[in-house]
Structure 1
Protein backbone atom coordinates (compact mmCIF):
# COMPACT_ATOMS: atom_id res chain seq x y z
CA UNK A 1 0.00 0.00 0.00
CA UNK A 2 1.32 3.44 -0.93
CA UNK A 3 1.67 6.14 1.69
CA UNK A 4 -1.15 8.68 1.74
CA UNK A 5 0.91 11.41 3.41
CA UNK A 6 4.53 12.49 3.63
CA UNK A 7 6.48 14.48 6.19
CA UNK A 8 8.18 17.79 5.48
CA UNK A 9 11.52 15.94 5.55
CA UNK A 10 10.25 13.53 2.88
CA UNK A 11 8.95 16.47 0.85
CA UNK A 12 12.38 18.13 0.93
CA UNK A 13 14.01 14.89 -0.21
CA UNK A 14 11.39 14.30 -2.93
CA UNK A 15 11.81 17.81 -4.33
CA UNK A 16 15.57 18.02 -3.83
CA UNK A 17 15.35 21.16 -1.70
CA UNK A 18 16.65 22.05 1.74
CA UNK A 19 14.58 21.39 4.84
CA UNK A 20 14.20 25.11 5.68
CA UNK A 21 12.97 25.75 2.11
CA UNK A 22 10.45 22.89 2.47
CA UNK A 23 9.11 24.40 5.71
CA UNK A 24 8.84 27.77 3.97
CA UNK A 25 6.89 26.12 1.14
CA UNK A 26 4.38 24.34 3.39
CA UNK A 27 3.65 27.62 5.19
CA UNK A 28 2.59 29.27 1.91
CA UNK A 29 -1.15 30.01 1.70
CA UNK A 30 -2.95 27.37 -0.33
CA UNK A 31 -0.25 24.70 -0.03
CA UNK A 32 -1.94 21.38 0.85
CA UNK A 33 -1.10 20.34 4.40
CA UNK A 34 -2.66 18.49 7.31
CA UNK A 35 -1.65 19.51 10.81
CA UNK A 36 -1.73 16.92 13.59
CA UNK A 37 -0.69 18.73 16.72
CA UNK A 38 2.63 20.31 15.78
CA UNK A 39 3.31 17.80 13.00
CA UNK A 40 2.85 18.90 9.39
CA UNK A 41 1.86 16.24 6.86
CA UNK A 42 1.41 16.63 3.12
CA UNK A 43 -1.23 14.47 1.38
CA UNK A 44 0.57 12.78 -1.51
CA UNK A 45 -2.32 13.13 -3.99
CA UNK A 46 -2.70 16.84 -3.21
CA UNK A 47 1.09 17.24 -3.60
CA UNK A 48 0.95 15.64 -7.06
CA UNK A 49 -1.92 17.93 -8.09
CA UNK A 50 -0.04 20.97 -6.74
CA UNK A 51 3.04 19.93 -8.73
CA UNK A 52 1.00 19.67 -11.94
CA UNK A 53 -0.60 23.07 -11.40
CA UNK A 54 2.77 24.65 -10.58
CA UNK A 55 4.47 23.27 -13.68
CA UNK A 56 1.72 24.59 -15.97
CA UNK A 57 2.24 28.24 -14.93
Structure 2
Protein backbone atom coordinates (compact mmCIF):
# COMPACT_ATOMS: atom_id res chain seq x y z
CA UNK A 1 0.00 0.00 0.00
CA UNK A 2 1.23 3.47 -0.86
CA UNK A 3 1.41 6.21 1.73
CA UNK A 4 -1.01 9.12 1.38
CA UNK A 5 0.53 12.39 0.21
CA UNK A 6 -2.04 14.44 2.16
CA UNK A 7 -2.05 14.98 5.91
CA UNK A 8 -5.54 16.47 6.34
CA UNK A 9 -8.77 17.16 4.48
CA UNK A 10 -8.01 20.88 4.14
CA UNK A 11 -5.23 20.08 1.65
CA UNK A 12 -7.64 18.42 -0.78
CA UNK A 13 -8.96 20.28 -3.83
CA UNK A 14 -12.68 21.05 -4.15
CA UNK A 15 -13.09 18.16 -6.63
CA UNK A 16 -10.88 15.05 -6.62
CA UNK A 17 -9.91 13.20 -9.77
CA UNK A 18 -8.79 9.54 -9.84
CA UNK A 19 -5.16 10.49 -9.27
CA UNK A 20 -6.04 12.56 -6.18
CA UNK A 21 -8.29 9.80 -4.82
CA UNK A 22 -5.40 7.35 -5.27
CA UNK A 23 -2.91 9.67 -3.55
CA UNK A 24 -5.30 10.40 -0.68
CA UNK A 25 -6.16 6.77 0.03
CA UNK A 26 -2.64 5.50 -0.63
CA UNK A 27 -3.75 3.09 -3.38
CA UNK A 28 -2.88 2.63 -7.04
CA UNK A 29 -4.64 4.70 -9.67
CA UNK A 30 -6.27 1.55 -11.07
CA UNK A 31 -7.73 0.83 -7.61
CA UNK A 32 -9.00 4.42 -7.47
CA UNK A 33 -10.73 4.01 -10.85
CA UNK A 34 -12.33 0.76 -9.67
CA UNK A 35 -13.56 2.48 -6.50
CA UNK A 36 -14.94 5.43 -8.45
CA UNK A 37 -17.10 3.02 -10.47
CA UNK A 38 -18.53 1.23 -7.41
CA UNK A 39 -22.11 1.80 -6.39
CA UNK A 40 -22.29 4.02 -3.32
CA UNK A 41 -19.06 5.91 -4.04
CA UNK A 42 -19.85 9.62 -4.55
CA UNK A 43 -18.29 10.07 -8.01
CA UNK A 44 -19.85 12.42 -10.55
CA UNK A 45 -19.54 11.93 -14.28
CA UNK A 46 -18.94 15.15 -16.22
CA UNK A 47 -18.77 14.13 -19.85
CA UNK A 48 -16.14 11.40 -19.97
CA UNK A 49 -14.46 12.61 -16.78
CA UNK A 50 -15.19 11.42 -13.26
CA UNK A 51 -14.67 13.62 -10.21
CA UNK A 52 -15.55 13.37 -6.53
CA UNK A 53 -16.71 16.41 -4.52
CA UNK A 54 -14.38 16.91 -1.55
CA UNK A 55 -17.18 17.05 1.04
CA UNK A 56 -18.84 13.88 -0.30
CA UNK A 57 -15.46 12.10 -0.32
CA UNK A 58 -14.79 13.09 3.30
CA UNK A 59 -18.26 11.87 4.30
CA UNK A 60 -17.70 8.59 2.43
CA UNK A 61 -14.43 8.03 4.33
CA UNK A 62 -16.15 8.73 7.64
CA UNK A 63 -18.96 6.32 6.73
CA UNK A 64 -16.38 3.60 5.93
CA UNK A 65 -14.84 4.14 9.37
CA UNK A 66 -18.20 3.94 11.10
CA UNK A 67 -18.58 7.71 11.45
CA UNK A 68 -15.68 8.09 13.87
CA UNK A 69 -13.27 10.00 11.60
TM-score, normalised via structure 2 length: 0.74
* Displacement over 6 Å in runs of 4+: none
Do structure 1's residue 51 and structure 2's residue 61 form an aligned pair?
yes
Identify unmatched segments of 5+ residues in structure 2. Answer: 1-11
Greater strand share, 1 or 2?
A: 1
TM-score, normalised via structure 1 length: 0.89
Larger relative CO (CA 8 A, sep 6+): 1 or 2?
1
* SS of match in other structure, 1:23: helix
Greater helix share, 1 or 2?
A: 1
Could you say what the CA RMSD is over the residues aligned between the two structures, in angstroms? Answer: 1.6
